[in-house]
Chain A
Amino acid sequence: MFVGSGMEWYLPVIWSLLLAIAIAMYVVLDGFDLGMGILFPFAASEREKDQMMSSVAPFWDGNETWLVLGGGGLLVAFPLAYSIVMPALYLPVIFMLLALVFRGVAFEFRHVADTSRFLWNIAFAGGSTLAAFFQGVLLGGFVQGIKVENNAFAGGPLDWATPFALLCGFGVVAGYALIGSVWLVMKTEGAAATRSRARAKMLLPVVLVFMGIISLWTPLAFPRIAERWFTTPNLFYLAPVPLLTLALAYAVWRWLERGYENLPFFGVIGLFLLGYFGIGVSIFPYLVPPVLTVWETAAAPASQVFMLIGTVFLLPVILGYIAFVYWLFRGKVREGEGYH
Chain B
Amino acid sequence: MDFDPTILARIQFAFTVSFHIIFPSFTIGLAAYIATLEVLWVATGHERYHRIARFFTKIFAVSFAMGVVSGIVLSYQFGTNWSRFSHVVGNVVGPLIGYEVLTAFFLEATFLGIMLFGYRVPRGLHVFACVMVALGTTLSAFWILSANSWMQTPAGHEIIDGIAHPVDWLAVIFNPSFPYRLAHMVTACYLTTAFVVLAVGARYVYAGRYPEDGRTMMRMALGLIAILAPLQAFIGDAHGLNTLKHQPAKIAAVEGHWENEPGESGVPLVLFAIPNEEAERNDYQIAIPHLGSLILTHSWTDTIQGLKDFARDERPPVAIPFFAFRVMVGMGLLMIAIGWLGVWLLWRRRLFETDWFLAPLRHIWPIGFITILSGWFVTEVGRQPWVAYGILRTADAVSPVEGWAVATTLALFVVVYGIVFSGGIYYINRLIAKGPQGSAVEPPVGLPNRPLASAHKATRAAIDNPGE
Residues of A at under 8 Å CB distance from B? 47, 50-51, 53-54, 57-59, 61-62, 64-65, 67-69, 71-77, 79-80, 82-87, 89-91, 93-94, 97-98, 100-102, 104-105, 107-109, 111-113, 151-154, 156-157, 299-300, 302-303, 306-307, 310-311, 314-315, 318, 321-322, 325, 328-340
Contact = CB atoms under 8 A, between A and B. Distances in A.
Contacts of B442: 337-340
Interface centre among A77, A108, A321 (most CB of B within 10 A): A108
B146 to A, nearest CB: 13
Interface stretch (B91-99, B269-277, B326-334): B91-99
A87 B101 contact: no
Given A51-B445, A152-B400, A330-B448, A86 B83 contact: yes
Given A75-B94, A331-B455, A334-B448, 9 more contacts: A61-B64, A71-B79, A83-B90, A86-B78, A98-B73, A109-B427, A153-B400, A310-B103, A325-B113
Nearest to B399: A87
Which 7 A-B pairs have CB atoms at the shortest separation, nearest pair first?
A: A79-B90, A86-B79, A334-B446, A58-B113, A331-B448, A83-B83, A104-B69
Chain A interface main SS type: helix
A335 B66 CA distance: 28
A80 B161 CA distance: 14
Contacts of A322: 106, 110
A108 B106 contact: no
B310 interface: no
Contact of A54 (B409, B423, B444): B444
A282 to B, nearest CB: 23
Contacts of A337: 442-443, 445-446
Given A86-B399, A87-B400, A310-B99, A328 B79 contact: no
Interface stretch (B236-244, B379-387, B412-420): B412-420
B79 A61 contact: no
A87 B445 contact: no
B462 interface: no
28 contacts: A57-B444, A57-B447, A69-B106, A71-B75, A75-B79, A75-B90, A83-B83, A84-B83, A87-B83, A90-B405, A93-B79, A98-B416, A105-B423, A107-B65, A108-B65, A153-B399, A302-B165, A306-B166, A318-B106, A322-B110, A325-B114, A329-B447, A329-B449, A330-B448, A332-B446, A333-B445, A338-B445, A339-B442
Contacts of A307: 94-95, 98-99
A157 B401 contact: yes
A86 B80 contact: yes
A87 to B, nearest CB: 4
B445 A50 contact: yes
Interface string B83-126: 11011001110110111111101110111111011100100000
A61 B109 contact: yes
